[in-house]
Every structure is written in C-alpha cells, then in structure tokens.
Amino acid sequence: MSENTIQAYAALEAGAALVPYQFDAGELQAHQVEVKVEYCGLCHSDVSVINNEWGNAVFPVVGGHEIIGTITQLGSEAKGLKVGQRVGIGWTAESCQYCDPCISGQQVLCTGEKQATIVGHAGGFANKVRAGWQWIIPLPEDLDPESAGPLLCGGITVFDPILKHQIQAVHHVGVIGIGGLGHMAIKLLKAWGCEITAFTSSLDKTDELKAMGADHVVNSRDANALKAQRGKFDLLLCTVNVTLDWKLYLNTLAPNGSIHMLGMVVEPMAIPAGNLISGAKSVTGSPTGSPFALRQLLQFAARKNIAPQIELYPMSKINDALERLHSGKARYRIVLKADF
C-alpha cells in the first residue's frame, strides 16, 4: 500500500449503506495538507450528501467534515503548520484565494473554485484526508480532541451569526431546535453572557437544556407559548429544516431583531413585509464560517471550556452510528473514532 492510499467508508450510490473503500489519492499537491484522522463528527449534511438530497453528490461519497487529526504531510506551499500538529477540518476543504470574498477573509463565501470536503472530494470517514492549508485549523492544546470535531461544522454554523450580528451579553437570543447545532448554540451563548431561550418540541429535554445554559425553555409547537414571547429576541437562530409559522416568530423579535436561518428549509418562507418594516426586522442566513472565525471559535471554546456533548462510536460501526442519527435520539452529536 503506497503512502497515497487512503482507506475509507463510502456510499457507492445514493442512500446505500457505507462500505469499506480504498483509493489512491495521488501525489499531495503543493497547497495541500494531509491529516491522519483521529475523530470525525457525524453531521446531517453527511446524510444529505450520501442520499444525494441536494442533487450534487459525486459517488462514491466519502462523508465526514468535522475532522480532528494530526498532520502527516505538508505541501511545499503550506504555511504556519507542522507535521504532527493536531488540527481540524470542517465543511470546506479549499477556496480559490483570489476572489474578492477570499481576499477580504470571507473564504466561506468564495465565488471562485471552491471545494467542499465531501462533495467531489473524500472526507473524514477515512484514515486520512486532504485539504488546502488555509482550511487546516490548528487545535488549541486545551481542547479535548475527542469532542472538538463538531465545532468544525455544527459549532461554527451557530458561532458565525453571533459574530455577524454583533451579539453582546445584554442581548436575548432564541435558539429554535435543540439538536447538534442548537445545543452548541446554547453553550456558546451562555459563555457569551446572553439571555437564552431554547425552543424545542421535546420538553423532556428541559432540565438538560437549563443545565447547559438555557434561561428559558419554550414549547415550539405551542402557539400560545410563542405568542407570549412577543417582542423579546434580538436574534433567533433557526436550526430546524422544517417550515414554521414565520409570522409568529417574527412577532417574537425585538425591534431591529433578526431571524437567522441555518437549517435548509426547502419550502419558500412566507414573510409578511409589514412585520419586517414596522420593527426594522430582518431575515438572514449563513453557511458555516471562514478560517479566521473557525480559529476564533476553537480558541474561545478552549478558553471557556466549551465541549459539544457527544456519543462516541468506532468508525467501523459507522452504519450503526448513522442509524442512531436517523433515530433522532443522539444526545447531541455523534463522533466516530477512527479504528482502521
């Protein structure tokens, strides 16, 4: 087996169970870095690509984009990294480095040639993975490598809007849907100092969510409970991917408040313009985050002792882990430990 052989778990066609899959990755390119995978989180987007729900999957699909590992090979152009260093890789593996968003440090919005880690590129359900050096994020020493992976996709997805909306400790933030993303949002906002309301349909999680940092827990399916929240929120982070009564949620915003979309709701949103105009409200959205925000997140998480709550599976049991994810019972993120 050459040093460029990668062992992985792949879906050979849409919706198929994952099977062991080996391929030759070829010579490492000058701008790339190769990482030996230690842990990889399991994200709903992995399932979306494996099932080709977005129509852009390239089979065989090797999923996995919440990767923690150590550097095994450095391309000649890679800067500021060293072999053996522990790092993370998230949703994006490469960006063009010369378009306006890239030049301005917003590489996640790259309009040139960009490469997602698991679309037409082999991700972290493998013993090794490769990415452009700018997307290799150094892991602070104090961060537990076993649970840090989910910060690289789920975590940054909820952290980036906290930065973009300039959320401060005096603000009241609502989190809609408390799964992998939502529970990380609560932990981050708690450390940020905000007042936090968790919206969930699983009220059996109430004590857990309060222990995590939620000040209030509201039943997301109870229209009267939602009406009672009128005018409260500076920001609502929507992590669910189903249609909600958007008018009702708009009414829960404080003046200048925003609903920020993170879940891929397929159906167009019905937004009454009057509700936006009267309180200067907005509906916004964002994908994951750029390398600088990722570095800030990992440093913040290390300093504030924030770790995603995970269930650990050996990577060889990846199909069991996927089933667990489907069941909706995982608390709150699944991480796979590479055992090749």
Cα separation, 75 vs 289, whole angstroms: 24
Q: How far is the CB of 93 from Zn ion (least distance, A)?
A: 13
Residue number with CB closer to Zn ion (135 or 249) = 135
Between the two ends of the chain, the Cα-to-Cα distance in Å is: 14
Q: Strand locations in the chain, DSSP E?
A: 5-10, 19-24, 32-42, 67-74, 86-89, 92-94, 115-116, 128-132, 137-138, 172-176, 195-200, 216-219, 233-238, 253-261, 282-285, 310-314, 333-337
Cα separation, 261 vs 324, whole angstroms: 25
Q: How far is the CB of 124 from Zn ion (least distance, A)?
A: 11
Residue number with CB closer to Zn ion (25 or 153) = 153
Residue number with CB closer to Zn ion (48 or 70) = 48
What 3-state DSSP class applies to 191? helix
Residue number with CB closer to Zn ion (257 or 308) = 308
Cα separation, 338 vs 340, whole angstroms: 6
Tokens 């049991």 correspond to 317
Cα separation, 297 vs 151, whole angstroms: 8
Written as six digits, the tokens of 286 are 């964002």
Q: How far is the CB of 247 from Zn ion (least distance, A)?
A: 29
Residue number with CB closer to Zn ion (20 or 112) = 112
What 3-state DSSP class applies to 6? strand
Q: How far is the CB of 304 from Zn ion (least distance, A)?
A: 22
The distance of Cα 3 from the centroid of its chain, to the nearest Å, equals 30
Q: How far is the CB of 148 from Zn ion (least distance, A)?
A: 14
Q: How far is the CB of 241 from Zn ion (least distance, A)?
A: 12
Q: How far is the CB of 293 from Zn ion (least distance, A)?
A: 15
Residue number with CB closer to Zn ion (117 or 252) = 117
Residue number with CB closer to Zn ion (6 or 153) = 153
Residue number with CB closer to Zn ion (45 or 127) = 45
Q: How far is the CB of 113 from Zn ion (least distance, A)?
A: 7
What 3-state DSSP class applies to 285? strand
Interface residue list for Zn ion (CB under 5 A)? 43, 45, 95-96, 99, 102, 110, 112, 153
Nearest to 135 by CA among 147, 119, 153: 153
* Alpha-helix runs per DSSP H in 124-175: 145-148, 154-164
Tokens 């840090």 correspond to 148
